Amino acid sequence: MSKFPGTLLFITGIFCSAGNVKSATTNINLDGKITAAACTVETKLANGLNINLGKTLYTSMQNSGDGGAWSDFSLNLTSCPRGTNRSTMTLSGIVDNDDSSLFINTATGESAATNVAVQLANQTNRSQILSNNSQVTVAINNNQASFPLSARMYTPSGGVTPGLVKTTVLVNFTYQ
């Protein structure tokens, strides 16, 4: 008789249990997106574009809804890569306290005009007012895109006082 019968049985049990292996399966989901390259923003836009809204007599802006003359301008993109069919422009800026469809006059101090804001619109249809988070999509033709816009001084409340009017609008272009 062996002196170690329990030991042999124990070792055999360890080796036998190794054959009882558990397994599991799972999925790995991978995704991505193929995008078109960006168009080239014309140089005057890349450096910041200043639009002169001209001069308007404060006496002609005393009633709610009075506005100055429209100033037309375009934001142009060039060298759009093949396969890019359209571009969307999204505007963002601080809205006026009296009318959220307008951009606030950010001029400050004694030299700032009061009760006036800046109105931005589609140049081909000025009744299409553009404000914070507005988007305009245009087709890209011949590797170019153009966003014709207009801006003017506008009073939602009347009672404009003389002074400076200015605002800043951030423009973001996306491509499809």
Tens of pLDDT along 42-60? Answer: 888 878 899 999 999 999 9
Residue 170 has pLDDT above 70, yes or no: yes
- The mean pLDDT of 73-81, rounded to a whole number, is 94
Q: Are 91 and 169 in contact (CB under 8 A)?
A: yes
Beta strands in 14-70 (DSSP E): 40-41
Radius of gyration of the chain (CA): 33
- The mean pLDDT of 158-174, rounded to a whole number, is 96
- Count of other CB atoms within 10 angstroms of residue 86: 15
**What is the model's pLDDT at position 10?**
46
Residues 40, 1: Cα–Cα separation, whole Å: 92
Residues 104, 100: Cα–Cα separation, whole Å: 9
**What is the model's pLDDT at position 83?**
87
Q: Which residue has the higher pLDDT, 7 or 69?
A: 69
> Which domains, ranges and CATH numbers included, belong to the chain?
40-175 (2.60.40.1090)
Of 52-56, 71-75, 82-86, 119-123, minimum mean pLDDT range: 82-86
Q: Is 46 in a helix, a strand, or coil?
A: helix
- The mean pLDDT of 112-140, rounded to a whole number, is 97
Of 33-37, 54-58, 149-153, minimum mean pLDDT range: 33-37
**What is the model's pLDDT at position 7?**
46
pTM, two decimals, is 0.78
Residue 2 has pLDDT above 60, yes or no: no
**What is the model's pLDDT at position 34?**
72
